[in-house]
Structure 1
Amino acid sequence: MKQANLGVLFLIELGALAGAAYWGFTRDVGAPWLLGLAAPAVLVALWALFGSQRAKYKVRGAGRFGFELFWFGAAAIALFAAGAQVWALAFAAVCVVSKALAAAWSQ
Structure 2
Amino acid sequence: MTGVVRLADDTLALLLELAVYGAAVRFGLTRRAARPARWALALALPAAYVAVWALFGAPGATVPLHGVGRAVLDLVWFGSAAVLIRATGLRRTAVVFAAAYVLTTAVHLML
TM-score between the two structures when normalised by the length of structure 1 = 0.94
In structure 1, the gaps of 5 or more residues are none
**Normalising to structure 2: TM-score of the pair?**
0.91
Q: Over aligned residue pairs, what C-alpha RMSD do you find?
A: 0.8
Aligned residues: 105
Candidates 4, 14, 28, aligned match of 1:10: 14
- Higher Cα Rg: structure 1 or 2? 2
**1:99 pairs with 86, 99, 105, which one?**
105
Separation (CA, whole Å) in 2 of partners of 1:83 and 1:35: 18
Matched with 2:51 is: 45
Q: Which amino acid in 2 is paired with 1:61?
A: G
- 2:81 equivalent among 75, 79, 83: 75
Q: Runs of at least 4 residues of structure 1 off by over 6 A?
A: none
Q: Secondary structure of 1:96's partner?
A: helix
Structure 2 residue 54 is the aligned partner of structure 1 residue 54: no
Q: Offset of 1:40 from its aligned partner? A: 1.0
Residue aligning to 1:87: 93
